[in-house]
Structure 1
Amino acid sequence: MSNGFNDAQIDQLQKMFSKMESKIEARLDKVITDRLSECMDLKLKPVIKKVELLSKDTAELKSRLLQAELSARRNNTEIVGFPVEHASEPGIVLMNMAKKIGLTIQKTDLITVYKTGKPRRLGERDCQNIIAEWSNHSLASSFILKVNEYRKRHNNRLDARMFFNSETSASVAVYPHLPREMKQLRWIAKKKAEELGYNYCWITPPGKLLMRKSEGSPSFWIRCEEDLIKLK
């Protein structure tokens, strides 16, 4: 009597061993994967933490640099969108505007007045921005305050024709002299204000960007994009 296996039994044993092998490989793969994941977590966690800290430090440094630049420009004002033909004599532009808005100034009140950037097309004419550096922050703030009061008396409009004889309308605006990064932040903040229903988004003469939902509600100082993310 033979103790050997027939072909059917051998085939069945092979299938059984094959299934066992697959299960063992699957378990082994899981053990290896879990172990690798644990090792990666242990190695990556300190790295991720360091990256997060560096990102935070970088954001804080950028904010400090921006505030330092704003501080350096605190005596400056910027007239945006003035017609090129009148901007050719920026000093005269400032004196005419000051006289019109009711601000008495002397030549010594202005350290320097100059055009900045290339002319750009706005509406029907080429316009350029004008930077004025005042002898002190009080004068810079007074100029912006008087301009805003003058604009409110004229239906919230400020036009170059109010200061010079001109046939074509040219809307102008007066701001603190802001760094490029701050102008970009202001643009993003205005978009965020529309999204969240904030009715007020403005820049104070020292260069602080503030947002407020409604009259009487608290104001929020926006120093970087991270501050915008926190708003609700």
Structure 2
Amino acid sequence: MPLQHSPPPPAQKEQTPKTPLFDAPQPGGLHTSLSSSEPSLNQNIDSLTNNASPVITFRNVKRKRLEEDEENRLSTFMSDLKELFREFKQQQEERCAKLCSTVDQIRDTVDLMADKFNDLTARVEVLETERKEILSYTHKLEEKLEHFEQNSRSTCIEIRNVPVAKSETKTSLMKTVIDTGNLINTQIQSHEIKDIFRIQTKDPAKKTIIVDFTTVLRKEDFLEKFRKHNRDRFKLTTEHLKFSGPAKPIFVSENLIARKKRLYFLARDAALSNNYKSCWIKNGKIFMREKEGFKHFEIKSEADLSVITKSA
């Protein structure tokens, strides 16, 4: 019986032993192993140093080039920045110059306008002074005109609330005045009446009668007797003068100009509101008295009435 034998193991390739970088320590021989490894270590370091030196040189060159490029770019940037600043400064100087020129023009214009304003102010002051003088002069002229007009009525009286009769004439009006004089105890002669007529009023049926006496004394006597009669006896009415219809009071007063009539109306209202004793008219002038025994004073304008109202 044949015997089977296992095939022989393949032949092992001879391997070149690798020299270790460091020798393995041998038991009991530590110092021997370290001393034997030093030549290898130094040799390897020198080998690494010699092999790396070209790489280090290449990097230094590249870094220098990069640094030079950075310096060039920085220099270019700084140059551009300086140029921008120079242009900006030039633009600002030009703008500043224009602005200064404009300001100078405005200043000149303002100075011119100020001079014109001062001239206008001086002219306005002169005109205002002239206006006040003109107003003062006009006021004096108005006062003189009113004085002359009032003097032209110094002999005239008004009789109000007398009904208008049919086919009325100056003769019938004169008879009414003479009858009124008889009632108040003063005898009126026809030759003492220079003129008599009616004037237009709000009520056409009761137009005011204007009686123009020949003298101021006769006018004053008629007014005084009428006031005394109304105060001491009884108030005169249309019934006493034989007029038909309901009895209505008759009013007699001086014939005043329009401004004096308004002032007299306001004066009576102010006297009533401020508890003044009396307010009356004499010779075209308006007088007021606060209480009996007090001195009377004249009302010349509405300003006098405002003083009375404030002091009350």
State TM-score, norm by structure 1. 0.76
| Cα deviation 1:81-115 (Å, max 9, x = unaligned) | 21113893211110110000111222222222222
The answer to whether 1:214 aligns with 2:294 is: no
The answer to whether 1:116 aligns with 2:199 is: yes
Q: 1:57 to 1:219 in 2, by over 3 A?
A: same
The answer to whether 1:107 aligns with 2:184 is: no
| Cα deviation 1:182-231 (Å, max 9, x = unaligned) | 2233234445x259837243211x11122343331441241x45655666
CA contact (8 A) 1:87 1:130 kept: no
- Name the CA distance, whole Å, in 1 between partners of 2:219 and 2:132: 40
Indicate the residue corresponding to 1:96 in structure 2.
179
| Cα deviation 1:137-196 (Å, max 9, x = unaligned) | 1110011111111111356x44222322433132321111222232233234445x2598
CA contact (8 A) 2:287 2:296 kept: no
Q: Kindly report which structure 2 residues correspond to 1:5-20, keeping only aligned pairs within 5 A, or say none.
A: 5=85
| Cα deviation 1:64-89 (Å, max 9, x = unaligned) | 11111222221111112211138932
Q: CA deviation at 1:9?
A: 8.6
Q: Kindly report which structure 2 residues correspond to 1:81-230, keeping only aligned pairs within 5 A, or say none.
A: 81-85=161-165, 88=168, 89-117=172-200, 120-121=202-203, 126-154=205-233, 157-191=235-269, 193=270, 197=274, 199=276, 200-204=278-282, 206-215=283-292, 216-222=294-300, 224-225=301-302
SS of the aligned residue for 2:134 comes to helix
Indicate the residue corresponding to 2:148 in structure 1.
68
The structure that is helix-richer by fraction is 2
- Work out which structure has the larger RCO, using CA pairs closer than 8 Å and 6 or more positions apart in sequence: 1
Letter in 2 for 1:101: I
Unaligned runs of 5+ in 1: none
The answer to whether 1:58 aligns with 2:138 is: yes
Greater Cα radius of gyration, structure 1 or 2: 2
Q: 1:220 to 1:160 in 2, by over 3 A?
A: same
Deviates more, 1:179-188 or 1:13-22: 13-22
- In the TM superposition, structure 1's runs of 4+ consecutive aligned residues that sit over 4 Å from their partners are 6-34, 224-232
Letter in 1 for 2:213: W
| Cα deviation 1:19-53 (Å, max 9, x = unaligned) | 98998898777656644432222111111111101
SS of the aligned residue for 2:83 comes to coil
Q: 1:129 to 1:150 in 2, by over 3 A?
A: same
SS of the aligned residue for 1:78 comes to strand
Deviates more, 1:69-78 or 1:136-145: 69-78
- Name the CA distance, whole Å, in 1 between partners of 2:167 and 2:143: 33
CA contact (8 A) 1:98 1:143 kept: yes
- Name the CA distance, whole Å, in 1 between partners of 2:288 and 2:110: 53
Q: 1:14 to 1:114 in 2, by over 3 A?
A: same
CA contact (8 A) 2:285 2:298 kept: no
Letter in 1 for 2:214: S
Q: 1:218 to 1:152 in 2, by over 3 A?
A: closer
Percent identity, please: 17
State TM-score, norm by structure 2. 0.59
- Name the CA distance, whole Å, in 1 between partners of 2:289 and 2:98: 70
- Superposition RMSD in Å: 3.6
